[in-house]
Structures are given as C-alpha cells and as structure tokens.
Amino acid sequence: MSTNPEEPVVAEISPSTEAAPVVESSPLRPLSHGGLGLWVRDLLISAAVSILIILFLYQPVRVEGTSMLPRLEDHDRLFINKFVYHITSIERGDVVVFHYPRDPEKSYIKRVIALPGDKLRIDHGEVWVNGKALAENYVPEMYRDTRSYADTVIPDDCYFVMGDHRSISSDSREFGAVERDLIYGKAVFVYWPARDVGEVR
C-alpha cells in the first residue's frame, strides 16, 4: 500500500477578536478601512500559520490499496505527523509512512511490528516477538494468513513492518526490515471520507 501526497488544506479560522474597536453606532455601520485592514491582516496570519503547520508538522496523504484494512481503506485521506519522530521514538504498533526500500520514489504505509534488537518469528501467521505471542487486535480473523517467517533479530536502526490485512500485504516479510532513515511520518488522523474519520490506532 502506498501513499501519494496531496495539496495542503488551509483550515478556515475565525479572525482574531482584536479587530476593529467597538464604537457606539448602528450595528449596520460599514467596517472602517482601518478595521478591514486589521481583519485582513489577522486572516492572512491565520492562513500562514495553518500552512506552516501543515508543511512542517502534518502532511495530508491519500491511501492507495487495501493492505491496511480494516482501519485504512483505499482512497482514505489522512494526516501524517512528520515531526513526532524527531522528539520521540518509534514504538511497536505505530502506523508509519516510509519510502519503499526497493524504490524510494514510492511511499508505503504499514504497522511497526518489531523494533531494533527484537527477536521475531512468525509461525503460521502467529507473530512472536522476544519469545511472546503478539496480541494483534487490529488484525481481524478474516484478514489473517498462515505464512511463516524464520527466526530473525531485527538489525540496529531497522523496523519490521507489516500490513494489517496479512493475506494480501507486501511488507517486511518480502522486502525485509525498514531502515530508520526511510521512515518519515506517523499516521495520526483520517479526515476523509466521513465514515472513516478518526484517530489511527
């Protein structure tokens, strides 16, 4: 499953309350040139701040494919946080966006299953990490498969990722663990369509 960047969407923000001063006159009196200038200034500042937040913190992307069902559907629009991993570590269970190791021009979205140094094996679809079976409530029974993966230790600065729709997902079982430098965002919130709106978990 890959993602394609979309144009940033500027949120409509109410202008600041520090606009034109209150004067004792008819409520239908036209806005003065000074008041209109302050209103336009506040609107431009709000728009600029919104754009900066989207450009440097969040990026809208579109999901292509179905390997992250049931949470993420084909053509879902979501925001990814591009800054979070500069201040926090990548955790098991995070849904991350990364450059596809075999073609960095493409982006994939998968769930982190194992961290650097973890011992991982998959026995007929059941994932074991450090000797314990992984509880994967995000994978419905109908999306499980019976594939196995030999015992392996995840290399330093690498992450083993898998799609939630195991039976159709192309993931680390095929292309190996993903290097840290290729991971550039965390999926945080689906904003479209309305039926899928909500936090990505």
Has residue 109 been placed in a domain? yes
Residue 36 lies in a domain: no
Residue 42 falls within a domain, yes or no? no
Per the domain annotation, does 103 fall within a domain? yes
Residue 174 lies in a domain: yes
- pLDDT exceeds cutoff 60 at 114: yes
- Given this model, what pLDDT does residue 4 score? 47
Q: Is residue 80 part of a domain?
A: yes
- Which domain range does residue 106 map to? 58-196
Residue 44 inside a domain? The answer is: no
Model confidence at 55, pLDDT cuts 50, 70, 90, reads low
Inform me whether the pLDDT recorded for 13 exceeds 50. no
Residues 172-186 pLDDT 10s: 999 999 999 999 999
The pLDDT value given to residue 32: 54
Q: Are 60 and 9 in contact (CB under 8 A)?
A: yes
CA distances from 8 to 49, 55, 79, 96, 98 (A): 12, 7, 10, 19, 19
Residue 45: inside a domain, yes or no?
Answer: no
Residue 166 contacts by C-beta under 8 Å, 6 or more apart in sequence? 125, 139, 143, 144, 145, 147
- Active-site positions read 67, 110
Q: What's this model's pTM, rounded to 2 decimal places?
A: 0.76
pLDDT in tens, 21-54: 333 444 445 545 667 888 888 888 888 777 777 6
CATH for 63 = 2.10.109.10
Quote the number of domains for the chain. 1
Residue 85: the pLDDT is: 96
Q: What are the two backbone dihedrals, phi and then psi, of residue 95, each rounded to the nearest 5 degrees?
A: -95, 115
Q: Where are the alpha helices (DSSP H) in 59-171?
A: none
Q: What is the pLDDT of residue 40?
A: 86
| pLDDT value at 83 more than 70 | yes
Taking only the tens place, the pLDDT of each residue in 115-167 is 999 999 999 999 999 999 999 999 999 999 999 999 999 999 999 999 999 99
What pLDDT shows up at residue 49? 77
- Name the nearest CA neighbour of 113 among 82, 132, 143, 134: 134
